[in-house]
């Protein structure tokens, strides 16, 4: 790039400011020893009312020279840098940086013109200067720079930043003042690496958004260059300061180098399809070349990591502390990790006595980070793990025992995404009968008609849409024998049938549990029903415990992990690789992607990894992620991640142009669907207003090369194992784009909130949602001794079936953290993004969006107060608030953040 040198034509040429891009000055060294702001101030005064002309010299040390035929003006740039905790540390590099700050030589800026020179057709010279450290404002540090800008420079297109500190710095924004067209805002919110780590300058564009075809001529090259940087070269191990986005399979769940027991299959590919994760480039395992080795550092692109504020206040440190301090402390005090609770009062003691912990490292920090969990007994100063009483238990201690609550939670609980309409009778498996046994269900027509008291025939119930099912039969049956070989694990294929009563609530009718043939034993299946008979009543309770364990595992592995965290990561990668940071769709999606890759990396490290929390405490054991892969292959479709299509596919709604939101619900009082559809419609209207502003013609969609490549990469690479599926939406029109974007942001906001933030409220008292079953049904091939023991002490059979003390307390500690809102949580519609605020049309659309979200708060409150809606109102019933948009910090059971940030 040519660089201007300033000189006065009335005098011999004299260098006023050295513009060399090298780190040392090649001329003007005496002047360079003065603070740069003084030089710039003198320049402004000296040339304030004179005309200058700019000459260009194509030499290595090209400089801008002002001549007295063209005007110039002085502008000031203020760079806001967030103070870091590391920045307060003492050390050689810190001292050198402080000295550099005093000399004004640690931050270099280049202002880049938006348009090419109309006379030459080439880029105008960028204007360079050092920024000097100014005052601290509200905890941030301002770096200030003064520029002399030729009048013909035009509008600013971008600014280049070089960080000459030895440490990275977090730049929040840059404001340039003094241009005749007004103040220029550049929102950064990004880590800027040290030039000693990477000599590449950082590129930041102004807040004005551009489609590729509308990009100002002089910054097209920078737009393309930035995307090249973000894509990387696909080689080598990624470094912490890098911002490279690339794809890989899930080959880092296992740790074969640690032990043979920790080896896991690679997830992702033809055999086990799965979305892709971010590539880290870590070396391959020594024992298994298909697997990636594990290390303490898990790369995510630098700007995807938690901000220091977020890490210190909550999300990063809290979850990390529970995983790496609390869980090991629990394990160290467990005499037998497989022992269950001896009686129900022992379960209750978790909320009033707690679990005594050994001395904790950095005790004061732990007490501050996890005040809800870690308590100190004042008289002994011993630390205990003491759980808050979940809201469900506060409202009704015995609700978990209740069939009404069991059924209600399929519509208004933690996993409202599995219940579906029965559309065919008789029920029949689609699995190979040669392997899994007879496909016919043991739930007969006669049994169902008896359970519904002869109100109607089964055929009439199906026709009138009265029968609903939780069906985990075909998904789980292939894993039954494998899981049952694991110590302390029992699973069945299950079907649970419900009847829709005239008052709009569901009544459970029957549970079928099935074990496929194993060794010399034939298929075993049995049906359990609610009954007044003592033995049958206890068998029903045990059957419910098995179903709930399966539903808990499905919820965590599929409804939660797969459908939100896992499926979203490819969207984030593709967005950063293919959409420029100045693309309006990038800026629309960006708030919905914050921190997701970091939390996913932490999950791979300690939650879904081999022998991690999920494997050790949920029913599939070491087959957990593999099972979610099977569910992905069988069930996941992008089009059905949209709430309306999800409801229609499960038979929970039908299209009806006369109904609100164009859908008629099969169960009118379905809280997740009722509230979700209002939120979906609100999101869709906001996206519609936004998209239609930038894409005024269909041709703009088709000609948007970045957008088309983005969508192709999501389908062909990010979700490449399903690239040939016919259900992928086309991207040819603004309406196509609106549907795609609304689906993505619904998944990251509404759907995730519905399945995440109620975890402690519903599952904190684990008998309501056990995560695993440790004992078989008493009726499955019992010995005389086993049957006699069950008849004498059926309550003990239930306790033996529930998770062990170690499993339960580990999960409870994790769920408490996962249900917690960070103090700096960013809720939908609460705060406008700077890019949106600068555009009057988008600003107005956001105000409408925010207002509708506030209206939704009132709508939900009104519904929860309506006594006719018995799935969300009644004695001891928890109101359904999971889709209320706003919340305070903590475990509140409400609040819809923009992104999957925990």
In Å, what is the CA distance from 509 to each residue of 445, 699, 714, 885? 12, 55, 43, 35
Nearest-5° Cα angle at 488, 519 to 513 = 60
Q: What is the mean pLDDT of residues 585-611?
A: 95
Nearest-5° Cα angle at 836, 834 to 837 = 65
284-318 b/e (C-beta count within 10 Å ≥ 16 → b): ebebbeebbbbeeebbbbbbbbbbbebbebbbbbb
Give the separation between CA 496 and CA 151, rounded to whole angstroms.
Answer: 75
Q: What is the pLDDT of residues 842-870, one digit of tens each?
A: 999 999 999 999 999 999 999 999 999 99
Q: What percent of the chain has pLDDT over 70?
A: 87
3-class secondary-structure state, position 540: helix
Q: How many CB atoms sit inside 10 A of residue 508's CB?
A: 24
Q: What is the mean pLDDT of residues 101-113?
A: 82
pLDDT band at 180 (very low <50, low <70, confident <90, very high): confident
Query: Distance of alpha carbon 622 from its chain centroid, rounded?
Result: 24
pLDDT band at 878 (very low <50, low <70, confident <90, very high): very high
3-class secondary-structure state, position 428: strand
Question: Among all residues, which ones are annotated catalytic?
Answer: 560, 565, 752, 756, 902
Q: What is the mean pLDDT of residues 86-90?
A: 40
Cβ(689)–Cβ(837) under 8 Å? no
Backbone angles phi and psi of 515, in degrees to 5: -115, 130
Q: Residues near 600 by Cβ (< 8 Å), separated by ≥ 6?
A: 277, 278, 565, 566, 569
Cβ(870)–Cβ(412) under 8 Å? no
Cβ(750)–Cβ(896) under 8 Å? yes
All CATH 3.10.450.60 domain ranges of the chain, comma separated, are: 418-556+767-803
Q: What is the pLDDT of residues 692-701, one digit of tens each?
A: 999 999 999 9
Q: How many CB atoms sit inside 10 A of residue 439's CB?
A: 16
**What is the per-residue pLDDT for 322?**
82
Cβ(305)–Cβ(598) under 8 Å? yes
Q: What is the pLDDT of residues 742-756, one digit of tens each?
A: 999 999 999 999 999
Phi-psi region of 842 (alpha: psi -120 to 50; beta: other; left: phi over 0): alpha
Give the separation between CA 224 and CA 215, rounded to whole angstroms.
Answer: 11
Residue 785 has pLDDT above 60, yes or no: yes
Residue 471 has pLDDT above 50, yes or no: yes
| CATH tag for 72-206 (out of 1.20.58.390, 2.60.60.20, 1.10.10.10, 3.40.50.720) | 2.60.60.20
Q: Residues near 247 by Cβ (< 8 Å), separated by ≥ 6?
A: 276, 277, 278, 279, 570, 573, 717, 718
Give the separation between CA 408 and CA 694, rounded to whole angstroms.
Answer: 44
Strand pairing category for 493-500 and 506-515: antiparallel
Residues counted in the chain: 902
All CATH 2.60.60.20 domain ranges of the chain, comma separated, are: 72-206
**What is the per-residue pLDDT for 67?**
39
- The enclosing H or E element of 840 equals helix 840-864
561-570, 775-784, 820-829 — which is least confidently predicted?
A: 820-829
Mean pLDDT across the chain: 88
pLDDT band at 320 (very low <50, low <70, confident <90, very high): confident
Cβ(595)–Cβ(602) under 8 Å? no
Give residue for tokens 């206040």: 313
Cβ(470)–Cβ(407) under 8 Å? no
Give residue for tokens 């948009």: 885
Q: What is the pLDDT of residues 716-767, one digit of tens each?
A: 999 999 999 999 999 999 999 999 999 999 999 999 999 999 999 999 999 9
**What is the per-residue pLDDT for 66?**
39
Structure tokens at 465: 């849409």
3-class secondary-structure state, position 514: strand
Which residues pair with residue 146 across a beta bridge? 76
pLDDT band at 93 (very low <50, low <70, confident <90, very high): low
| CATH tag for 418-556+767-803 (out of 3.30.450.20, 2.40.110.10, 3.10.450.60, 3.40.50.720) | 3.10.450.60
In Å, what is the CA distance from 551 to each residue of 63, 155, 670, 773? 69, 58, 18, 12
Give the separation between CA 420 and CA 650, rounded to whole angstroms.
Answer: 5
H-type alpha helices, 358-456? 363-369, 391-395, 403-412, 433-436, 445-451
Give the separation between CA 568 and CA 566, rounded to whole angstroms.
Answer: 5
Q: Closest Cα partner for 521 from 492, 493, 481?
A: 481
Phi-psi region of 104 (alpha: psi -120 to 50; beta: other; left: phi over 0): left
**What is the per-residue pLDDT for 862?**
98
C-alpha torsion angle, residues 571, 700, 227, 126 (rounded to 10) = -140
**What is the per-residue pLDDT for 184?**
95
**What is the per-residue pLDDT for 311?**
53
Q: What is the pLDDT of residues 472-507, one digit of tens each?
A: 999 999 999 999 999 999 999 999 999 999 999 999
Q: What is the pLDDT of residues 606-658, one digit of tens each?
A: 999 999 999 999 999 999 999 999 999 999 999 999 999 999 999 999 999 99
Residue 368 has pLDDT above 80, yes or no: no
């Amino acid at each position: 790039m040519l660089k201007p040198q300033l000189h006065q034509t009335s005098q011999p040429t004299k260098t006023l400011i050295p513009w060399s891009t090298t780190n040392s000055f090649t001329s003007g060294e005496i002047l360079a020893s003065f603070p740069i702001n003084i030089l710039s101030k003198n320049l402004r005064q000296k040339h304030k009312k004179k005309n200058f002309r700019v000459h260009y010299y194509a030499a290595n040390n090209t400089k801008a020279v002002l001549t007295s035929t063209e005007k110039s003006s002085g502008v000031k740039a203020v760079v806001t840098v967030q103070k870091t905790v590391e920045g307060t540390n003492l050390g050689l590099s810190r001292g050198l940086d402080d000295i550099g700050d005093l000399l004004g030589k640690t931050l270099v800026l280049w202002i880049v013109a938006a348009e090419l020179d109309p006379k030459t057709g080439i880029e105008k010279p960028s204007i360079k200067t050092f920024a000097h450290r100014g005052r601290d404002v509200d905890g941030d540090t301002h770096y200030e720079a003064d520029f002399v800008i030729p009048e013909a420079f035009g509008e600013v297109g971008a600014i280049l930043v070089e960080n000459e500190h030895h440490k990275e710095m977090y730049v929040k924004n840059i404001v340039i003042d003094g241009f005749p067209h007004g103040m220029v805002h550049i929102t950064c919110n990004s880590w800027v690496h040290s030039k000693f780590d990477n000599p590449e300058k950082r590129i930041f564009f102004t807040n004005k958004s551009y489609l590729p075809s509308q990009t100002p001529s002089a910054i097209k090259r920078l737009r393309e260059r930035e995307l090249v940087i973000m894509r990387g070269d696909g080689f080598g191990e990624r470094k912490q300061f890098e911002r490279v986005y690339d794809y890989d399979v899930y080959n880092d769940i296992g740790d074969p180098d640690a032990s043979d027991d920790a080896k896991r299959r690679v997830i992702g590919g033809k055999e086990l399809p799965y979305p892709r994760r971010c590539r880290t480039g870590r070396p391959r395992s020594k024992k298994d070349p298909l697997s990636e080795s594990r290390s303490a550092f898990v790369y995510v692109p630098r700007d995807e990591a938690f901000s220091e504020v977020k890490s210190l206040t909550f999300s990063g440190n809290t979850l990390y502390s529970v995983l790496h301090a609390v869980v090991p402390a629990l394990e160290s005090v467990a005499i037998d990790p497989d022992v269950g609770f001896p009686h129900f009062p022992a379960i209750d003691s978790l909320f009033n006595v707690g679990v005594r912990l050994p001395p904790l490292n950095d005790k004061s920090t732990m007490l501050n980070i996890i005040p809800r969990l870690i308590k100190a007994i004042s008289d002994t100063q011993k630390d205990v793990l003491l759980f808050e009483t979940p809201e469900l238990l506060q409202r009704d201690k015995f609700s978990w025992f209740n069939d009404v609550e069991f059924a209600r939670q399929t519509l208004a609980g933690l996993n409202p995404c599995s219940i579906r309409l029965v559309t065919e009778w008789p029920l029949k498996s689609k699995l190979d009968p040669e392997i899994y046994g007879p496909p016919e269900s043991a739930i007969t027509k006669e049994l169902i008609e008896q359970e519904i008291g002869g109100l109607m025939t089964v055929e009439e119930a199906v026709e009138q849409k009265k029968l609903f099912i939780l069906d985990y039969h075909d998904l789980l049956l292939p894993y039954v024998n494998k899981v049952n070989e694991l110590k302390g694990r029992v699973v069945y294929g299950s079907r649970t049938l419900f009847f829709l009563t005239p008052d709009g609530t569901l009544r459970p009718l029957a549970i079928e549990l099935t074990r496929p043939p194993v060794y010399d034993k034939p298929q075993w299946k049995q049906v359990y029903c609610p009954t007044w008979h003592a033995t049958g009543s206890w068998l029903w309770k045990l059957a419910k415990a098995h179903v709930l364990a399966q539903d808990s595992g499905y919820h965590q592995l599929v409804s939660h992990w797969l459908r939100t965290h896992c499926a979203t990561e490819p969207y984030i990668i593709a967005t950063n690789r293919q959409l420029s940071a100045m693309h309006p769709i990038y800026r629309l999606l960006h708030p919905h992607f914050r921190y997701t890759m970091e939390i996913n990396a932490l999950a791979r490290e300690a939650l879904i990894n081999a022998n991690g929390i999920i494997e050790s405490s949920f029913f599939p054991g070491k087959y957990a992620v593999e099972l979610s892969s099977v569910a992905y292959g069988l069930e996941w479709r992008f089009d059905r991640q949209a709430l309306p299509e999800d409801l229609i596919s499960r038979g929970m709604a039908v299209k009806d142009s006369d109904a609100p939101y164009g859908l008629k619900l099969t169960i009118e009082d379905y809280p997740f669907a009722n509230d979700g559809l209002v939120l979906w419609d609100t999101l869709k209207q906001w996206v519609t207003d936004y998209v239609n502003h930038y894409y005024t013609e269909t041709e703009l969609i088709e000609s948007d090369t970045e957008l088309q490549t983005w969508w192709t990469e999501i389908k062909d690479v990010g979700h490449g194992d399903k690239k040939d599926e016919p259900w992928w939406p086309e991207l040819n029109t603004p309406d196509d784009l609106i549907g795609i974007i609304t689906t993505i942001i619904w998944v990251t906001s509404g759907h995730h909130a519905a399945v995440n933030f109620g975890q402690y409220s519903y599952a904190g008292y684990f008998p309501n949602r056990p995560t695993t079953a440790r004992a078989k049904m008493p009726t499955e091939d019992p010995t005389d001794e086993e049957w006699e023991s069950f008849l004498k002490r059926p309550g003990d059979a239930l306790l033996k079936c529930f998770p062990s003390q170690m499993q339960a307390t580990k999960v409870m500690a994790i769920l408490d953290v996962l249900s917690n809102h960070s103090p700096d949580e960013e809720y939908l519609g609460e705060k406008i993004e700077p890019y949106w605020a600068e555009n009057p049309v988008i600003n107005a659309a956001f105000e409408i969006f925010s207002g509708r979200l506030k209206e939704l708060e009132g709508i939900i409150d009104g519904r929860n107060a309506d006594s006719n809606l018995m799935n969300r109102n009644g004695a001891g019933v928890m109101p359904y608030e999971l889709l209320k948009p706003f919340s305070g910090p903590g475990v509140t059971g409400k609040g819809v953040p923009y992104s999957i940030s925990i």
